[in-house]
Structure formats: structure tokens, C-alpha cells
Amino acid sequence: MATIGKDILKVVQLLEEGRLVAIPTETVYGLGANALDSIAVAGIFKAKKRPAFDPLIVHTYSMEKAKEYVSEFPAELEKLAKAYWPGPLTLLLPKKNIIPDLVTSGLEKVAVRVPDHPLTLQLLKELNFPLAAPSANPFGYVSPTKPEHVNRQLGNEIDYILDGGNCSVGIESTIVGMENGKICIYRLGGLSIEQIEKIVGKLELRINNSDNPTAPGQLKSHYSPMKKLLIGNIEELLEQNKNACVLNFGSKKFNAPTFNLSEISDLTEAAANLFTGLRTLDESAAKIILTDYLPNIGLGMAINDRLTRAAAEK
């Protein structure tokens, strides 16, 4: 098992040696390594059993610093960075040569983000390289939002987990880029479409999907618990399924073991609880997990996206 602690100097030392460390962010825990060192980055793919066609997000501490890794920063995306960095926003920008091809899986654009977590921001300022970090879970499984989640699944692959407590947002960053001069959303996430539109105006929503994904977060089946997850009218599903448990939202009560994402129907609270809820029910005695879609506004859109992929046939 890995050590869980707050020793930033120890983390700096491990990362400088090319090792992997789990780091807290406001969205989910990341599995970090020196983004400029291909060998260190290769360790991430190995530990996660992640296919090499799945590129990684590069984390740094400011927009100025991000500019050292990209050759172009379109004005519209710069507006978003100014408004929402640090925060749950990842931007796809043309990369400079200093970013190894393994980080972008050979693509010309690199995903960059400034995470909003005090410990990780402090760490990023101490380092003289940025961190490549995917979510710290085995490929395809639910993302981790607590240090213990990381330890249970990847504890044997890494030495240290930087303890930043529970992730406040709880759902991965929203990935935004540009194609043919138009803003494009590649993954729904912790920054809502409404928040993005407040800065850049109305978007044509064109989220790439399933069969020919540019990002595995767009794969039909992703973010999945081991157990089968069914989405629909929970009362009807309970009549048809024995030995079920419920991932609930709101004050309605069901006659089955239940994890409630938010009794007061708050979407922000639900996003923060989503992955803990799926894990808790996955580890329970029930055989199947039942849930229903949340209102499809604000963070509800990203939550519904994760539920659809979690429920998809593997």
C-alpha cells in the first residue's frame, strides 16, 4: 500500500526521480508524473493498464506557465482560462515540441489544465516541470475522489498519495477546444455549459461520441462500476429486479439499500458524491444498482453523461 500524507518535499523528490504520485485536485485524484519525461509518463500507462491511444492532461499552475507548453492560445480560449483557471476546465491547444508525443498519443494538441487545489498548486510551483495526470483509477473504472479510493486500487503501483481530503467538485474537468474557429466541447465535466456560455456566448453543442472517440472519456462504456447499473423509473425497476440497491437523488424514499447523492436535490452536491456513491454501492451486498437521470441542466448534464457510460454494456 502507498503512504498517504502531506509531505510536499517528499513528493517533489519522488517526482524528480521519475516516480508516480497520486495528487488531489478539485475534480478527482490524479496519477501524476513528470510530463516532460517520456519514461515517467510510460509508468502511468502501465500502472493504469491504460491503452496508449489515450492521451493525458498536463497540469500546471498558471496560464503564463501553460503558454510555455503550447504554440498558440486562441483568444476565445484565453478568455475561458482567465475566467475559470484554476478550475475544472481543460483546454486543448497546439503543443510545443517540449511535450513528448506519448503525452498526446501523437496528436498535435495537448490538453492543459490548472487545477484548483491548494496543495497541488503549491506542489506544481515547487516543481520545474508540469505533471501529466489521468484520473488515478484503473482504466475504465470509476474515478477516485478520496485518497483511500486510490490506495485500494493503485496502492501497489505507487509510493505516495498526497492527501488533499475529499475532492470538492467530484467529477472530471470539462474539456474544451476549437475546431474551424468554433468552440467544441470534448467532455462534459465540472464546469457547466452555462458557465462557459457566460464567457463566450451560445455554443453549438457537438459532443463527440462513442464509435469514433477522440477521447476515451467518450467511449460508450467508461467510468463503470463492476455491477450492472440500470437507469430509469426507480420504482418500476425495483419491481423487476431482486436484490437491487438505489443511487438516489432527492427526498423520495425507496424500499432498498440506498445511497443518496443529494437529499435536497442539489446538483453540485450530487456531483461531489457521484463516484463515492457508485463505489459504495458497487461494494455493497446488492447484485444490481438502479438509478434515474438527474435534471439535465448545469452539472446534471455531466452527471447524466457519466451515468449513461457507466450503464453501457462493456
- Sign of the alpha-carbon torsion through 155, 7, 135, 129: negative
Is 248 a residue that touches Mg ion (CB under 5 A)? no
Q: Of the listed pieces 210-218, 223-231, 273-281, 304-312, which binds ligand TXA according to CB under 6 A?
A: 210-218
* Shortest Cβ 177–Mg ion spacing (Å): 18
**What backbone torsions phi and psi does residue 121 show, to the nearest 5 degrees?**
-65, -40
Of 109 and 149, nearer to ligand TXA (C-beta) is 109
Helix (H, G, I), strand (E, B) or coil at 4: strand
- Supply 233's cell numbers: 423509473
CB < 8 Å & 24+ apart, contacts of 36-43: 36/98, 36/99, 36/100, 36/129, 36/130, 37/100, 37/129, 38/100, 38/101, 38/102, 40/15, 41/100, 41/102, 41/103, 41/132, 42/102, 43/18, 43/19
The answer to whether 221 and 209 have CB atoms below 8 angstroms apart is no
- Figure out which of the listed residues 57, 89, 184, 267 binds ligand TXA, where binding follows CB under 6 A: 57
The answer to whether 286 and 244 have CB atoms below 8 angstroms apart is yes
The option from Mg ion, ligand TXA, none interacting with 100 (CB < 5 to 8 A, set by class) reads none
Of 97 and 255, nearer to ligand TXA (C-beta) is 97
Helix (H, G, I), strand (E, B) or coil at 94: strand
Is 217 a residue that touches ligand TXA (CB under 6 A)? yes
Mark 83-122 with x for binding to Mg ion (rule: CB under 5 A) and - for no binding: ----------------------------------------
Of 286 and 309, nearer to ligand TXA (C-beta) is 309
**Contacts (Cβ under 8 Å, ≥6 apart) of 253:** none
The option from ligand TXA, Mg ion, none interacting with 216 (CB < 5 to 8 A, set by class) reads ligand TXA
- Supply 287's cell numbers: 447484485
- Figure out which of the listed residues 135, 174, 262, 273 binds Mg ion, where binding follows CB under 5 A: 135
**What backbone torsions phi and psi does residue 65 show, to the nearest 5 degrees?**
-65, -40
- Figure out which of the listed residues 34, 60, 104, 260 binds ligand TXA, where binding follows CB under 6 A: 104
Interacting positions 156-175 with ligand TXA (CB under 6 A): 172-173, 175
Strands 258-260 and 30-34: unpaired
Of 200 and 215, nearer to Mg ion (C-beta) is 215
* Shortest Cβ 119–Mg ion spacing (Å): 20
Q: Of the listed pieces 53-61, 145-153, 198-206, 292-300, which binds ligand TXA according to CB under 6 A?
A: 53-61
The option from Mg ion, ligand TXA, none interacting with 157 (CB < 5 to 8 A, set by class) reads none
Which residues are 67's β-sheet partners? none
Q: Give the interface with Mg ion as residue ranges (CB under 5 A).
A: 135
Q: Give the interface with ligand TXA as residue ranges (CB under 6 A).
A: 25, 27-28, 30, 54-57, 90, 92, 104, 107, 109-111, 113, 115, 133-135, 172-173, 175, 186, 214-217
